[in-house]
Structure 1
Amino acid sequence: MFLSPKEIKTETGQSLLYCPHRIQVSKEFTFDAAHHLFQYDGKCKSLHGHTYRLEIAVSGFLDQRGLTYDFGELKAIYQSQLEPKLDHRYLNESLPYMNTTAENLVYWIYKTVEAALPNERQIQMEHVRLYETPTSYAEFRREWDEE
């Protein structure tokens, strides 16, 4: 449950909290990977690679330090849960069986990060955006998971 600024005090009796509302924080990562697409009639049916850009966004209420979720903790989730399966990997072999489209990847990433989040201060996934090229991305949002 969220604690109001009046309920969290420092040694001096003052609160470090200012915002009583939910805040979203996000972190970006890049990784290089190869893949090919099944049932696709175009260049992408052949083995090829991308430098992907990944944005992960979560939201929640502030902790006693005034942080929603530490950027370092998001990085730790990326490094432990995602990077070993994504970076410099052949995605068709390193991920669960799927057609490795940006759409399928973004959903797998969303669910993987969601499972690693702590159950505190109503921390929740907001969205994952995955750029396959500098101008093309797929995105999955929390509200779509609730439909």
Structure 2
Amino acid sequence: MFLAPKEIKKETGDSLIYCPRRVLVSKEFTFDAAHHLFNYEGKCKALHGHTYRLQLAVSGFLDDCGMVYDFGDLKEIYKNELEPKLDHRYLNESLPYMNTTAENMVYWIYQTCAESLPSDRGLEMEYVRLYETPTSFAEFRKEWDID
């Protein structure tokens, strides 16, 4: 049962930040795409498709509103930078030259998203996870992005 509030709370002017620590936010997307693998002797050598599931995770400190990064802004990065190259595309043609394995793709997605984050907020791309099937994924994490 839901009880109606006795009153609608109003801002007091105090800080809206409760958490003083770095927090991770994540958003998930799906897209359909076709590809084939080079230099591979298996079923994936032939042209085929997947319904991919993609998770993007960003961390940062809360802003004055109490948010790390608006989920809508994360969606905009996907819509503007990733979806045009991924959704309903032939990945061997739409992505930079690579073998379009989940492992290669997840690194390209990570780099693309990291470059798209605003530079003035201390945001960090934490990880990208790309499911090629419901039970198989590749992941790239921030701590692995070292030379």
TM-score by length of 1: 0.91
Cα distance in 1 for partners of 2:127, 2:50 equals: 21
Alignment map for 1:36-115 (pairs within 5 Å):
36-115=36-115
- Which has the greater radius of gyration? 2
Cα distance per residue 1:115-134 (max 9 Å; x no partner): 00001331000000000000
Cα distance per residue 1:67-110 (max 9 Å; x no partner): 00000000000000000000000000001110000000000000
Q: Write the letter of the residue equivalent to 2:56.
A: I
Cα distance in 1 for partners of 2:135, 2:66 equals: 35
Cα distance in 1 for partners of 2:98, 2:58 equals: 25
Cα distance in 2 for partners of 1:27, 1:40 equals: 32
Cα distance in 2 for partners of 1:77, 1:97 equals: 22
Residue 131 of structure 2 corresponds to: 131
Aligned-pair Cα RMSD in Å: 1.3
* Paired-residue identity, %: 74
Structure 1: runs of 5 or more not aligned: 1-9
1:30 aligns with 2:26: no
Check whether the contact 1:62–1:121 (CA below 8 A) recurs between aligned residues.
no
Cα distance in 1 for partners of 2:19, 2:87 equals: 36
Q: CA deviation at 1:11?
A: 7.1
Q: Write the letter of the residue equivalent to 1:103.
A: E
TM-score by length of 2: 0.91
1:122 aligns with 2:125: no
Cα distance in 1 for partners of 2:13, 2:30 equals: 42
Deviates more, 1:96-105 or 1:114-123: 114-123
Moved over 6 A (4+): none
Cα distance in 2 for partners of 1:11, 1:78 equals: 33
Number of aligned residue pairs: 138
Residue 141 of structure 1 corresponds to: 141
